[in-house]
Structure 1
Amino acid sequence: MVSKATRKSGNRALSRAERLILRCNGPQTRASARDAATQQPPQRSVHSLSVALAVTTALVFALAHLSPGAKSQVRECHHYISLHSPSSTCVSWRRCSARTFWRGSAESNCTARAAAVSCRGAQPHIAIWRIARGLIPSLPLNHTLSSSFNPCIFPRFPDTPCCTSPTTSAVPPAPPLLAATTSAMMNVARTLVRTAPRRALAVPASAEPALKTTVLHDKHVALGGKMVPFAGYSMPVQYPDGIKDSHLFVRSSAGLFDVSHMGQIKLHGADRAKFLERLVVADVSALQPTRAQLSVITTEQGGIIDDTIISNLGDCLGMVINAGCKDKDIAHIREHLADATASGMDVSLEIIEDHELLALQGPEAMSVMSELVTGFDFVRMPFMTCAPMVVSGINCHVTRCGYTGEDGFEISVPADKALELFETLIGREDVRAVGLGARDSLRLEAGLCLYGNDIDETTSPVEAGLTWTIGKRRREEGGFLGAETILKHLNEGIARRRMAFVMPKGAPARGGEALLNDSGDKVGSVTSGGFSPSLGMAIGMGYALKPFNKSGTRLQVQVRSRVNDIEVMKMPLVPSHYYSVPE
C-alpha cells in the first residue's frame, strides 16, 4: 500500500511526465488535467504503481529494437493486454495512437488512465525510444510481476470507468517480458517519486489559469458540445453532428453561435467620435445613427491591434472586439483615454459585462427573426445596421452582420435572459447550435480574417486587403495611429498582400507553411487553412509577394513531407450572401 504522501508526490511526477514524455496528448489531455485540479484541490492522488504501468506497455514495444529476438515476446504481451483489458483495447503492433488521460476521481485512487506508445510502422515515439535506450540495459529484469498488477489502465476512451481497486485476482500470470518491465518500471517510478526534488515535480496551481466560461457553458455541455480552450474561454468547437454538417446547415438554413466571449464596449461623450478616430482608420464622424462598419485599431507603426465592428447607437458608440484581444484593446483605449480627458475632451469608456452575444447566421436567419420580433420590418433593414428590439419577449440590441459570408444577426442579450433566448432559437427545426470549428471554415470560405493568424501587429490594413475600411476623408487627412506608414502603403504600393487559395489534392495547410513558386523559391506563407465542406477540398489564406498573389497563379505549399499544388483565387472562395434591401 502506498502512503498518502507518496501518492501525492506520484501525482506531481505523473504531471511532469505527461508534459515531458507523452507530448502526443494534445489540448484535451491538458483540459482533463485542469478539470482534475478543479475537482480535487489540492489532493489529486495517483497510485505510483499506475505511474509505472503507464509507461510499461510502451517499453515492451521498444524492447524489440534492442533485441530482435524479443519480437515474439512482444506479440505475446500484446495479446495478453488485448485479452485481459476490460475495455478490450487492442494495442496494434503496426500503429497505435497514444492518448493518456489523467483525471482525478472522488471515488477512487485509481486515477491513472494509460495508453501505449505511438507507432509508425515498427517505430515507437522518439521520447519512449530514448527512455528505452537509457533505462532498459540497467533495469533489474529478473523481477516477477507484482500481485497488484492492474489491467484496467488500458481503457479505450477517457471516460471508460476505471477499477476502484488496484488488485485483480481473475487475471492469469502475465508473460515474462511484461512482468519484468512492469516490475522494473514500478521500481523506477518509486525511486523518482522518492528522490525527485519537490519543487521540480510540483505543478503550480497558477501555471494554467482556469478558463472563463460564458453563461451558456452548461448548455453547450448538455448538448454534447466538445469544449476546448479558446482565447481564455471554454468554448464548444463542435457538437455531435460534426463540423461538416454544421457548416453545411449554416449555408442552407440557420446556425446559432455563442460568441459571448467577445468584448462589448461603449464610448460616451460629445467627443467620442473624435477620440475614436485617433485609434481607428474609419470615418467615425460620418457614421450615421443605426449604422455599423468594420474597422481596425492600429499601432503607431501601422500594424493592426484588432479588428472591430463600430456601431452608432445614437447617444453613444458601440464596439465589439475580439476575445483574444479584449484585454489589450481595453488597456490601449484607456491609455489614450487618459490623455484625451487630460486635454479636456468629453469622452468616457463603458465595458458591457451584463450582456451575452449570440450570432444567428444563415439564409433562414431573417425568417427566424421575423417570427420572434413583432413590429419590425427586417426586409427594410440593410446589412451592417443595428437597432434595439424585443426578441421573443426579451429586450435586445441587434446588428445585421456576421462572420460567415451569409445573412445574419448578432444579438446582444441580457446575461440573465441569454439561456432562455438560446433555447428558444435552437428549439426550432430551422436553427441548430454550431461551434467554433464550423465558424472557422465558414469565415475561411468567405475570405474573412482571423486576428492572430491573418492579421496582427506586423500587417497593415493595406497588406491585409482591408483598404476599403479606411474612410475617404481619413486617406486625405490621416490623424490616426500609424497613418504615415499606412498612407505610404496606399500611395506607393506594397510588396506583399493577403490572398486565398484552393488545394484540389492533399491535406490542408494549417498555417506557417511556405508558399513556393515553380523554382522552389519561397514567395509567401500560409496564415490559415482547413477543409472546405462547400467546395470539397482544402483551402487556405496567406500572404504572397507580388505578383504571386494574383488570381490564377499556381504555387506550391509543403504540408509535412508532401509538396502540394495550389491555385490563388479571388476572395470570397464561396459566394457571399450579405443582405441587400430590395429596390
Structure 2
Amino acid sequence: MDATNSGNLKTLPLHEFHEAAKARFGAFAGWNMPLTYPLGVLKEHLHTREKAGLFDISHMKLIVVSGPQAADAIARACPLAPETISLGRSKYTFLLNDEAGIDDDIIVTRLGENRYVVVANAGNAAQDIDTLTKAASGLDATVEPLDRVLVALQGPSAEGALLSAGLDLSSLSFMQGIEPRENWFASRSGYTGEDGFEVAIPLEEAKDFIEKLLAHEDVEWIGLAARDSLRLEAGLCLHGNDISASTNPVDAGLMWAIAKSLRESGTFNGADALRAAIAAGPQHARVGLKPEGRQPVRGGTALINADGRTVGEVTSGGFGPSVGHPVAMGYVETDLVAHGTTVYAEVRGTRVPLSVHPLPFTQHRYRKG
C-alpha cells in the first residue's frame, strides 16, 4: 500500500463518504483507497473482531458469466467444475496461466442454472475479463462486467447490522450467495476470518443503504491497512504478495481448492503444467511465521538459516493486534516446514529469529451450515 500521489488513480464511487469520515487515502491496485480512519489501524482491526467493520471494496470487480455454455467457459479458464456447484454456493478457485501460475484467485458463485458471478481482484480485473472472454469464445456464453458498489461487513455484529438496514441474509451460510434484490448480489464471505458478508449494490441505491448501515451503533468504517492485518492473522493470501503469476497452487498449499478428478484429467488452462508440478512435488512451501520480539518483518525480506544461507522469503508481514505479536507469511524450503522450525531475517542490521507457525494465527469464525 503506497500513500503516493493520487492524480492518476481511480476513485471509489462513494469517495465522498470516506472524505467525510476523514479517511487517509493511498494508492492500491490503481485506486485511491481509504487506508485508515481517525480510529486508527489498531482500533479498526479490533473493532472488526469485536463488533462490525465496514469496508468499501468497490475496487474489486464483479463479472457475470451466463448462457447455456457458461459452465463450459468457466471450466476452460479455471480448475473448477462449475456444473457441479449447487445453486447459491460459492467456490474459491484460480485463473491459471500456461505454467500453472496463479494469474488471480477468484470466487465463483452459481446463481442460476446457467448463471455465475465471479469476484475478481482489483489489479487483475481487466486481465480476468479478457481471460474469461477468450474462454467463452465459440461458446454460447456471455461475459458481462458489472458496475456496482461493493462493500464488506465483517464481524460478530454484521448480521444484525444488515437486518437493521433492511437486508435479511440470516439464511446464508459461509460461501453461499444470492441476489436478494434486483441487480444486487450478496454472499456470506469475506477476507478477515470473521463471520460477515459482501454486498454489491447499484450506485443509485448504495448511498441510502450505506447510511443505514452506518447508523448502527456497532458499525465503523475500516480501512485497507486493517483489512491487511485482519487477513494476515486469518492466514489468507494476498495476490501479488503471497501468490502471483509465478506461484502455482502446489507450492502455495492451495490444492484443497482443486478437485482430485480435475487434477488428474481436467482440461482447464494450465492443466498440464499443474499436473507436472504435482508430480514434481512442492519446490518450497507457504507457511506462517512468528517473529521473535515485537519487531514486524515485512514482505520481501529474505529468510536465512543459522549458517546465513537463503532458505526462503517473507511475502507478507506486520503486527497482529488480536494476537498481540508480529505475524508473517512466506515461503521456505520444504524441509523447514515443521512447526517451531527457526529461520532468520535481517532487519535493520539485526538478525531476527522467526519460528514456523500454524496458519491461521486467529481462529476462523465463519457461519458454517
User: Per the shorter chain, which TM-score range?
Assistant: over 0.9
> Equivalent of 2:81, from 270, 280, 283?
283
Q: Per-residue CA shift, 1:506-533, capped at 9, x if unaligned?
A: 4222211111112221110111111111
Aligned-partner SS, 2:331: strand
Deviates more, 1:486-495 or 1:220-229: 486-495
What does residue 269 of structure 1 align with?
67
> Equivalent of 1:296, from 87, 90, 94?
94
Aligned-partner SS, 2:77: coil
Q: Per-residue CA shift, 1:27-56, capped at 9, x if unaligned?
A: 55634xx4xxxxxxxxxxxxxxxxxxxxxx
What does residue 295 of structure 2 align with?
507
What does residue 328 of structure 1 align with?
127
Aligned-partner SS, 2:251: coil
CA contact (8 A) 2:317 2:326 kept: yes
Aligned-partner SS, 1:248: helix
What one-letter code is carried by the residue in structure 1 that aligns with 2:146? Answer: I
Report the CA distance between 1:274 and its aligned residue: 1.2
> Equivalent of 1:382, from 159, 173, 185?
173
CA contact (8 A) 2:341 2:356 kept: yes
What one-letter code is carried by the residue in structure 1 that aligns with 2:356? Answer: V
Report the CA distance between 1:504 and its aligned residue: 3.0
Relative to structure 1, the CA distance from residue 450 to residue 495 in structure 2 (aligned partners, 3 Å threshold; closer, same or farther) is: same
What one-letter code is carried by the residue in structure 2 that aligns with 1:388? Answer: E
Between the aligned partners of 1:486 and 1:395, the Cα distance in structure 2 is 37
> Equivalent of 1:363, from 156, 165, 174?
156
Between the aligned partners of 2:339 and 2:278, the Cα distance in structure 1 is 21
Report the CA distance between 1:304 and its aligned residue: 0.6
Relative to structure 1, the CA distance from residue 395 to residue 273 in structure 2 (aligned partners, 3 Å threshold; closer, same or farther) is: closer
CA contact (8 A) 2:162 2:169 kept: no
Q: Per-residue CA shift, 1:326-365, capped at 9, x if unaligned?
A: 112122223333xx31xxx211111102x11010001111
Between the aligned partners of 2:354 and 2:122, the Cα distance in structure 1 is 32
Q: How does 1:186-201 map to 2 (within 5 A)?
A: none
CA contact (8 A) 2:290 2:356 kept: yes
Q: How does 1:201-216 map to 2 (within 5 A)?
A: 210-216=8-14
What does residue 144 of structure 2 align with?
350
Between the aligned partners of 1:377 and 1:359, the Cα distance in structure 2 is 13
Q: How does 1:352-431 map to 2 (within 5 A)?
A: 352-353=146-147, 355-373=148-166, 376=168, 378=170, 380-390=171-181, 396-431=184-219
Between the aligned partners of 1:262 and 1:514, the Cα distance in structure 2 is 30
Between the aligned partners of 2:267 and 2:11, the Cα distance in structure 1 is 38
What one-letter code is carried by the residue in structure 1 that aligns with 2:32? Answer: S
Structure with greater Cα Rg: 1
CA contact (8 A) 1:506 1:564 kept: no
> Equivalent of 2:116, from 308, 312, 317?
317
Between the aligned partners of 2:295 and 2:189, the Cα distance in structure 1 is 32
Report the CA distance between 1:554 and its aligned residue: 1.2
CA contact (8 A) 1:361 1:404 kept: yes
Higher RCO (Cα < 8 Å, 6 or more apart): 2
> Equivalent of 2:339, from 538, 551, 555?
551
Q: CA RMSD in A?
A: 1.7
CA contact (8 A) 2:4 2:27 kept: no
Gaps spanning 5+ residues in structure 1: where?
1-25, 35-209
Report the CA distance between 1:388 and its aligned residue: 2.1
What does residue 145 of structure 1 align with?
none
Gaps spanning 5+ residues in structure 2: where?
none
Report the CA distance between 1:395 and its aligned residue: 6.5
CA contact (8 A) 1:215 1:418 kept: no
What one-letter code is carried by the residue in structure 2 that aligns with 1:295? Answer: T
Aligned-partner SS, 2:238: coil
Q: How many pairs align?
A: 368
Relative to structure 1, the CA distance from residue 309 to residue 490 in structure 2 (aligned partners, 3 Å threshold; closer, same or farther) is: same
Relative to structure 1, the CA distance from residue 474 to residue 29 in structure 2 (aligned partners, 3 Å threshold; closer, same or farther) is: closer
Deviates more, 1:399-408 or 1:415-424: 415-424
Between the aligned partners of 1:331 and 1:397, the Cα distance in structure 2 is 22
Q: Does residue 1:525 correspond to 2:313, yes or no?
A: yes
CA contact (8 A) 1:281 1:474 kept: yes
CA contact (8 A) 1:529 1:540 kept: yes
CA contact (8 A) 1:283 1:470 kept: no
CA contact (8 A) 1:373 1:389 kept: no
Relative to structure 1, the CA distance from residue 413 to residue 426 in structure 2 (aligned partners, 3 Å threshold; closer, same or farther) is: same
Between the aligned partners of 2:201 and 2:258, the Cα distance in structure 1 is 30
What one-letter code is carried by the residue in structure 2 that aligns with 1:275? Answer: A
Q: Structure 1 or 2: larger helix share?
A: 1
Aligned-partner SS, 2:144: strand
Relative to structure 1, the CA distance from residue 290 to residue 475 in structure 2 (aligned partners, 3 Å threshold; closer, same or farther) is: same
Between the aligned partners of 1:563 and 1:506, the Cα distance in structure 2 is 13
What one-letter code is carried by the residue in structure 1 that aligns with 2:5? Answer: R
Q: Does residue 1:568 correspond to 2:356, yes or no?
A: yes
Between the aligned partners of 2:233 and 2:79, the Cα distance in structure 1 is 26
What does residue 239 of structure 1 align with?
37
TM-score normalised per structure 2:
0.95
What one-letter code is carried by the residue in structure 2 that aligns with 1:477? Answer: S
Between the aligned partners of 2:163 and 2:259, the Cα distance in structure 1 is 33
CA contact (8 A) 1:543 1:549 kept: no
Report the CA distance between 1:308 and its aligned residue: 0.4
Q: Structure 1 or 2: larger strand share?
A: 2
Report the CA distance between 1:223 and its aligned residue: 0.4
Between the aligned partners of 2:27 and 2:3, the Cα distance in structure 1 is 9
